[in-house]
Amino acid sequence: MKSKTIKGFATLVMAAVLVFTAACGNNNNKEANQPSNSNAPAATNSANAPTESTEPEVKLSGEIKIDGSSTVFPVTEAVAEEFRKVHPDVRVPVGVSGTGGGMKQFTAGEIPIANASRPMKDSEAEAAKAAGIEFTQIDVAYDGLSVVVSQQNDFIDHLTVEELTKIFSVEGNAVNWSDIRAEWPSEPIVIFSPGADSGTYDYFAEVVLEDANMKTEGVTFSEDDNTLVTGVAGTPNGIGYFGYAYYEENQDTLKAVPIDGGNGAVAPTFDTIKDGSYTPLSRELYFYVNNAEMARPEVAEFVKFYIENASELAGEVGYVGMPQEAYDEQLAKIDALK
């Protein structure tokens, strides 16, 4: 009796698994067998897609592998998503192996486009040269690195770059907030920072620390920015930094500290990042394209499409679009490659 029930149940589960697999298999077939059908809605969509280019005269196909910075990923993903609506046969897989990881593949000629949240290093440029690869750097958007404290923090009104250096460097020797400004409480400084592998860390260290060394003792490092958000929000005497998008989404628990880079304290906002008044922590986001790959029409079209839509799409995913002149410059660079 009991074994019968188990047998029945077993059959049921097996059947469920089979149906599930079969259902998924069907989906694939549908896609593979009915390209005409899947093109139809895509064509209608392209009318709504934020693009200035007209309907493609030639039907583009092929694959454009992109890899690199996880910071630039959301922008490239958004562009790839819109590009697919116009050119459904061009496959654009986007990976996130970090700026350094993407550069390694790019300079070895494995991928035509690499996302980067920092300019290419000399060593990477040499690797590309050794492999006979010529490349072009294209700027896509701005990100304002935001220095943040908890909403519960009531004493920090702004920080100068020198004070940032003192807070974050070993050489600054600051233990308590009173070491930074005498009127601040003698509470310990608790730091939250992105991990040393990230482009965000590299950029912050370069701008704020210059030749000094980043503190490691008592610092919470995390590759996951959401961990940093939670950490800073729950620590009244904590401080941290990360991309503007993470601050923008968490304004109810975090305060962005206005930064004085020599011309008065400026808080990171969409406008101050866009017009360049939020310095020196505004950074550019890039991608690098292999010049030889621009001969492939789908790559050339994708790169152009990227720049034409970068401003709007960057804004949608939490970054800041550049002024139109800057995009015009990028387009000129691209045209020169053809």
Partner 1 sequence: MNIFHDANRKQIANRRVKDKSLHMIFLLATSVGIIALTVLLVDIIIDGWSNLSPDLFTNFPSRKAEDAGMKSGLVGSMYIMLILVPLSFILGVGAAIYLEEYAPKNKLTRLIQLNISTLAGVPSIVYGILGLALFVRMLSLQKSLISGALTMTLLVLPIIIVAAQEAIRAVPRSRRDASFALGATKWQTVSRSVLPSSLPGILTGVILAASRAIGETAPLIIVGASTYVAFLPKSLTDAFTAMPIQIYNWISRPQVAFKDLGASAIIILLAILILLNITAVIIRNKYQKNI
Inter-axis angle of helices 73-86 and 297-316, nearest 10: 120
Residue 35 or 323 with smaller CB distance to partner 1: 35
Among the listed ranges 163-171, 191-199, 210-218, 241-249, the one in contact with partner 1 (CB under 8 A) is 241-249
Are 90 and 60 a contacting pair, CB within 8 Å?
Answer: yes
Work out how close the CB of 24 gets to partner 1 at its nearest, in angstroms, rounded to a whole number: 6
Task: Calculate the CA 195 to chain-centre distance.
Answer: 15
- Site residues for partner 1, 178-237, by CB under 8 A, read 224-226, 229
Work out how close the CB of 72 gets to partner 1 at its nearest, in angstroms, rounded to a whole number: 12
Residue 336 in contact with partner 1, rule: CB under 8 A: no
CB burial string 194-210: b at 16+ within 10 A, e below: beeebbbbbbbbebbbe
- The rounded distance, in Å, linking the Cα atoms of 255 and 232 is 10
Work out how close the CB of 171 gets to partner 1 at its nearest, in angstroms, rounded to a whole number: 32
User: Maximum CA pair distance of the chain?
Assistant: 84
CA distances from 97 to 73, 194, 206, 220, 318 (A): 10, 16, 22, 22, 21
Among the listed ranges 43-51, 59-67, 115-123, 202-210, the one in contact with partner 1 (CB under 8 A) is 59-67
Burial of residue 229 (CB within 10 Å: 0-12, 13-18, 19+) is: buried
Work out how close the CB of 181 gets to partner 1 at its nearest, in angstroms, rounded to a whole number: 31
Instruction: Say whether 24 sits in a helix, a strand or coil.
Output: helix
Residue 97 or 279 with smaller CB distance to partner 1: 97
Q: Which of 245, 254, 285, 300 binds partner 1 (CB under 8 A)?
A: 245
Residue 34 in contact with partner 1, rule: CB under 8 A: no
Can you read off the two tokens belonging to residue 80?
């790839």
Helix (H) or strand (E) holding 220: strand 219-222
Q: Which of 14, 15, 22, 130 binds partner 1 (CB under 8 A)?
A: 14
Residue 165 or 193 with smaller CB distance to partner 1: 193
Work out how close the CB of 70 gets to partner 1 at its nearest, in angstroms, rounded to a whole number: 8
Residue 9 in contact with partner 1, rule: CB under 8 A: yes
- The rounded distance, in Å, linking the Cα atoms of 298 and 251 is 40
Q: Which residue ranges make up the site for partner 1 (CB under 8 A)?
A: 3, 6-7, 9-10, 13-14, 16-17, 21, 24, 27-28, 31-32, 63, 65, 67, 70, 73-74, 76-78, 80-81, 84, 91-97, 110, 224-226, 229, 243, 245-246, 248-250, 313, 316-318
